[in-house]
A = this chain, B = another copy of it.
Amino acid sequence: MELPAISLSPHSGEPLYRQLYLSIKSNIHSGAMPDGMRLPATRELAVSLGVNRATVAAAYELLENEGLLNAHVGRGTFVNCPAGDGGELISFASSRPADELFPMATVTEILREASARPETLRTLLQLGSTLGYQPLIEHIASRFDGAPHAENQGVLISSGCQQALDLLARAFVQPGDLVMVEDPVYPGLREVFHRSGARLIGLPVTEIGLDVGSLDLALRRERPRLLLVTPDFQNPTGATLPIESRRSVLELARQHNVTLVEIAIYRDLRYTGSDLPSLHSLDHTGAVVHIGSFSKIAFPGLRVGWVCAPREAIERLAEAKQWSDLHTDHLSQYILHEFARSGALAVHRKQVLEAGRQRLSATVAALEGTPEVAHFTRPEGGMSLWVTLRAGIDSERVLDMVAGRVSFLPGAAFAVSRRHANSLRLSFAGLRPAAIHKGVGIIGEAARQAAAAAPERYATPHMAIV
């Protein structure tokens, strides 16, 4: 079996052996390195990672001590991660849709129809436009008809939201530029801009989204190139920005001449309450960059997202796209266009919303019965909520304790300017209510034990680190 990606950074403050230990543990937790998998010999892994053999040995030793690896002399080292008390690993770790809800009859019908259209397929198999598959572009663009300045806007199809963020970094950010983001924030957003050489400023997110007062203060002091906001069901907090705050964010961006990027990938996943207008639709200057995707509402394995933005921005993004991968895969664009235009997406969405509502309710109910939880957000949609444990309980410690039974991402994974050491994200959308109740129970029990053993130094988790 192929070893999953292990990334070690020599520039990280973390020692290499500990980076390796954490990376393998996270792979075990996520199921990427399943129970019984044979690991490479220490020498072999050391060579392949370009590190000292002692580094690998130290990481393996830590994992053995935690019972996550078993070493058998002469046979090798194996992952030891039996599912907790006969059940499967309950993973709150990934914000991805529930695949048991995928409408396979519809998808197979779309494929059967495609197979009856060889000349359409022939065109799809040939090289195409950097902007995307024209019928899909027009379908997406039609969603913005009637918006202010629609006639000066364009659409670019990207390989998911992740690539849309990457193209923005390439087209708009120079090394040393300031970029303002929410804190906590989706790690893939932070990493894209971090790697582009941007200096990131994390703005606090409250129960009602980005803190507008902090944004105002920050913009008085600094002049960022970009401001990225997820107004609906922010990842990881699930928070939604109220209408007045949306207007304030737009006004501040306009006043300070900052390019405002709206990440709208969770927007169609509202389970309760009423839709709020997007920043894009509220914007009378026609300047907002709006990112959408099919990955949360439909199928993340088909990598299709989009950017709607002023034409000038689209031209720059298209050039970045050209040198990134020429264009997004044609067949997936075709399938998702058929799925959307036929109305099947709208039908699927009803199922997804009903399931999401139940799963969110189950998560909230389970958390309400967990005294070690000091606080948690109560989203009205999306895929995740944000749990803050009582002061002194470190979420990475809790993650260690539940290894093999439950997984989640600890707050540190979402950190920008704050540590979030006693917080964690629970992504509930992919789990059935029974598993949610059981998983939250296990986390709660581990948090109780961790609280009993917690040293004082964890008591100030919000220390700023930049």
Contact = CB atoms under 8 A, between A and B. Distances in A.
Interface string A104-145: 110111011011101101111111111100100100000000
Contact of A159 (B47, B129, B159, B175): B159
A13 interface: no
B315 A329 contact: no
B94 A127 contact: yes
Interface residues of A, number: 82
B302 A330 contact: yes
Chain A binding surface, main DSSP class:
helix
Give the copy number.
Answer: 2
Contacts of A112: 111-112, 115
B121 A108 contact: yes
Interface stretch (A187-195, A363-371, A405-413, A451-459): A187-195
A111 B122 contact: no
Contacts of A108: 114-116, 118, 121
A402 B191 CA distance: 48
Given A312-B50, A329-B303, A330-B302, A7 B319 contact: yes
Given A108-B118, A312-B49, A299 B126 contact: yes
Nearest to A295: B127
A99 interface: yes
Contact of A125 (B99, B166, B311, B323): B99
Contacts of A119: 104
Given A5-B131, A111-B115, A125-B302, A331 B335 contact: yes
A130 B5 contact: yes
Contact of A107 (B4, B107, B125, B319): B125
Interface string A195-220: 10000000000000000000000000
A322 B6 CA distance: 12
A332 B330 CA distance: 9
Nearest to A51: B312
Interface in A45-71: 47-50
A163 interface: yes
B325 A162 contact: yes
A301 B127 CA distance: 5
Contacts of A6: 315
6 contacts: A44-B152, A102-B122, A107-B125, A111-B114, A124-B301, A159-B325
Given A2-B131, A94-B127, A105-B118, 5 more contacts: A2-B134, A5-B319, A109-B115, A111-B121, A127-B295
- A-B pairs, top 4 by smallest CB distance, nearest first, are A48-B311, A5-B318, A125-B299, A104-B118
